[in-house]
């Protein structure tokens, strides 16, 4: 579930770092290219997985079924089994793939800019225990 918004952040950051546009159509095109999916497949994958997991905690049901297994790769693939179309994916490999992008280029985590990386502040334990609300 966390890999999906991080993946979206990665795509936006990659576009920004390359000087590309980040309008919805640009992002969608970049996702399709990166995942090696045609536009129809990209829309189905994004609706089922990103929208499904981010809004309801599981893949969204649709005409295309989904299947996860360790035998599949890191990228979604569309396969047909017994006349039914499935999106096939190993979610752990996908998550590893997404995290590897950020490890390879640390600029990606902040390049998105739409949701800046949160700052970290130190508050002494004693102050938290006392309940003081000094500014």
pLDDT in tens, 48-62: 877 666 766 667 677
Looking only at the bridges linking them, the beta strands covering 84-89 and 77-81 are antiparallel
DSSP 59-106: PPP-SSEEEE-TTS-SS-EEEEETTEEEEEE-HHHHHHHHHHHHHH-T
For 122, other C-beta atoms within 10 Å of its C-beta total 6
How far CA 89 is from CA of 17, 36, 59, 65, in Å, comes to: 28, 13, 12, 12
State the pTM of this model: 0.78
Task: Say what the pLDDT of residue 133 is.
Answer: 64
Per-residue pLDDT, averaged over 100-117, amounts to 84
pLDDT digits (tens, 9 = 90+) for 61-91: 778 888 989 999 999 999 999 999 999 999 9
Q: CA-to-CA distance for 96 and 54, rounded, in angstroms?
A: 19
Q: CA-to-CA distance for 27 and 15, rounded, in angstroms?
A: 8
């Amino acid at each position: 579930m966390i890999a999906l918004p991080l993946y979206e952040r990665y795509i936006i950051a990659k576009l920004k770092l390359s000087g590309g546009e980040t309008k919805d159509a640009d992002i969608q095109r970049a996702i399709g290219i990166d995942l090696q999916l045609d536009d129809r497949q990209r829309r189905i994958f994004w609706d089922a997985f990103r929208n499904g997991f981010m809004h309801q905690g599981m893949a969204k049901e649709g005409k295309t079924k989904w299947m996860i297994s360790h035998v599949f790769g890191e990228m979604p693939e569309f396969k047909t089994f017994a006349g039914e179309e499935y999106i096939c994916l190993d979610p752990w490999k996908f998550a590893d793939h997404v995290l590897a992008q950020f490890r390879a280029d640390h600029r990606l985590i902040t390049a998105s800019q739409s949701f800046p990386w949160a700052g970290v502040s130190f508050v002494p334990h004693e102050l938290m225990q006392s309940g003081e609300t000094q500014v």
